[in-house]
Structure 1
Amino acid sequence: MFSDIFDVAKDVAVTNQYEEIENIRCAFKNDEFVLYYQPKINMRTNQIVGLEALIRWDHPQKGILPPAAFLPVIEQNTLLIELGEWVIKAALNQLSSWSKSGIEMPISVNISPLQLQQTDFVDRLTLIFKSHPHFKAGQIEFEILETSALDDIKIVKSVVEKCHELGVVFSIDDFGTGYSSLTYLKKLPTEYLKIDRSFIRYMLTDHDDRSIVMGIIQLAKTFERTVIAEGVETIAHGEKLLTLGCKLAQGFGISKPMPAKEFPGWLGHWTHNNEWQILSDPE
C-alpha cells in the first residue's frame, strides 16, 4: 500500500515538473524574460568597472520573478541551454545599444555547467560573436558558480582557454560556498573570484566570516586573481574590505539590479554625486 502511495506521489511530482517546464518554455517563446543589471564598482577610484546581467521572468500575472523561481526547474533540461544563449545574445545587444550612447561597460553573465560542458559550446559561441561584430575582447565575462558540478575539469579548462581566445574573461562566483573551491581556483584559468555574500553580510560582527573573507582575499593574491565582494550593503562593509585588500564590490548598498533603461540615468547620478565617494582616494 505504501509503495502505491509513493508511486502516485512520484507521478504527481513528475507531472507538476513537466507542466512547470512547459510554462517556462512558453514564457521563453513569448519573450517574457528580461535582463536586469547590477553595477560593480572600484571603491578606491569610485568608478563603475562593469555590470552583472541577471535574468528575470516578467510574468504576466505574478510580475517580476527572480531566477530562483524558475531556473532550478530546468537545470537539467536543454531549455536551460537555450535560455543561456539568449542571455549572452541579449547582453551583447545591450552592449551595442549602450555603446551608441557613449556607454562602454563590460557585462558578466552566469553560465550553467550544462551549457558550458556542451561539446559544441565554443563553436556556438563563436557564431554568436560573429553575428555581433561590435563585440570587443573583454566586454563579456562568464561567471561559473563555485557550487556547480563540473563533470570533467580538464574539458572545462580547455573550454575556458578557448573562450579566452575569443576575448571572454571568467570569474568563479560564490567562492567559498562549495566543496570545489580550491580545485576550481587551481585548475581553471579564471581572472576573478567573487566572495559569496553570505560571508560579507556579517563580516563586521562575526570573526569567523571576517577570517574567511581575509583568507579568500589572500588566496586571490596568491593565485593572482582579482577579488570582488558580493552582497556589499553598507559603506562600513566597503571600508573594511578596502583595509583587507579588496577594492571591487557589488551589492544592494551600491545599487539593486535595474532594468537596462534605468542604467544611463543611474550612471549619470553616480558620476556626479554618490555617497561612496568618501572611500575613494583624494587624488
Structure 2
Amino acid sequence: MKRAIFNAINNDELEMYYQPKFNPVTEEVTGLEAFVRWNHPDGHQLQAGEFIHVIEKDSELSLALDNWVLNHTLAQATDWTDKQYGLEFISINLSSWIQTDALTSIINNALTNTAYPSNKLSFECPWRILEMDTTLTTKTMRKIRESGACIITDGAPLDASALITARNTPIKLSKVCYTTLHKLIDESGVKAVSTQIRNWKKSGIKIAAVGVENDSEHELARQIDCHLSQGNRFKAPLSATDITALLVMIMETKIAFGI
C-alpha cells in the first residue's frame, strides 16, 4: 500500500476535491475545504479515509502527500483568488503534524511558489492527533500560525476539558459533526449546547457544524450560533472544474442582481 501511494503521488493519480463552507446567517459561501482523492489504476476513486491510516504511520509518506496537496491546492486557490471569486479562505487537511520543521518548511515553500496569501489559508488538524502528542503538535501549530495561516481542529468534544486543551493552542475554529451536536442537544437541550458554543467563542475559538445534510440541520446550526455550516446539504465535495463553475455562477448571479 505504501509503495502504491508513493506511485500515486509520482504518477499524478491524485486529485483535489473541494466542498463549500457556508455562513449559516447570510447563506454566503465563505470558503472551501480541500480533500484529496486517489484515482486508483483499478478504476475506483478512493477517499482519504481509505488510505490515511497508512500515511500517518510513515513520516516520509505523510510529508510527500502533504507537499503534493499543498502545492496543487494553493496553485488552484491562487487562480481563484486572481479571478476574484470572493472566497475568504481555503482549508487544507494535513497528515504530518508532529514533524514540525519539515512540515513548516514545505508550507513556506508552497506559499512562496504560489504567492497565495497566507491569511486566506487554514490548516486542519484532527483532534485525535493533538491528543496523541499535545506538546509537539501544539509546537507545530504555533510555527504554522507565524506564517499568518489559521489553525482548525476537527473532532474535538465540546466539554470543558477539551476547551482547556484547545485554549492552550493557536486553534481558532473547531469542527463538530452535526450528529454529535444533535446527540448533545438530545441529552442537554439547545440552550445548554448554545452555552457551550458561546464558552468556546469567548475563548477565541469558533465552532463549525459539519456533516450538515438538510435545511433543518442547517437551521439548527444557525440557532446554536455555529460560525460555519458544511455538508452535503448543498454539495458533496466537487472537482476543481465543477467548483470553478459553481463559483462563476455565484459571481455572475451577484453581478446580475447587484449584490
Aligned residue among 104, 123, 148 for 1:142: 123
Relative distance call for 1:42 and 1:90 in structure 2 (3 A) is same
Structure 2: gaps spanning 5 or more residues: 255-259
**Partner residue in 1 for 2:151:** 170
Structure 1: gaps spanning 5 or more residues: 1-19, 274-283
**Partner residue in 1 for 2:30:** 49
Percent of pairs with identical residues: 26
**Partner residue in 2 for 1:39:** 20
Name the TM-score, length of structure 1 as normaliser. Answer: 0.78
> Does 1:65 pair with 2:46?
yes
Aligned residue among 152, 160, 166 for 1:185: 166
Deviation for aligned residue 1:152:
4.7
Name the TM-score, length of structure 2 as normaliser. Answer: 0.85
- Structure 2 letter corresponding to 1:111: L
**Partner residue in 1 for 2:257:** none
**Partner residue in 2 for 1:7:** none
SS in 1 for 2:234: coil
Comparing 123-132 and 32-41, the one that deviates more: 123-132
Higher Cα Rg: structure 1 or 2? 1
* Distance of 2:250 and 2:197 partners within structure 1: 27
**Partner residue in 2 for 1:10:** none
**Partner residue in 2 for 1:96:** 78
Describe how 1:1-283 pairs up with structure 2 within 5 A.
Answer: 20-77=1-58, 78-105=60-87, 106-112=89-95, 114-132=96-114, 134-149=115-130, 152-176=133-157, 181-200=162-181, 202=182, 207-208=186-187, 213-214=193-194, 216-270=196-250, 272=253
How many equivalent residue pairs?
A: 251
SS in 2 for 1:44: coil
SS in 1 for 2:137: helix
Deviation for aligned residue 1:209:
7.8
* Distance of 1:42 and 1:138 partners within structure 2: 18
CA contact (8 A) 2:97 2:137 kept: no
SS in 1 for 2:25: coil
Comparing 239-248 and 46-55, the one that deviates more: 239-248
Comparing 83-92 and 168-177, the one that deviates more: 168-177
Relative distance call for 1:216 and 1:36 in structure 2 (3 A) is farther
RMSD of the alignment, in Å?
A: 2.8
Comparing 216-225 and 253-262, the one that deviates more: 216-225
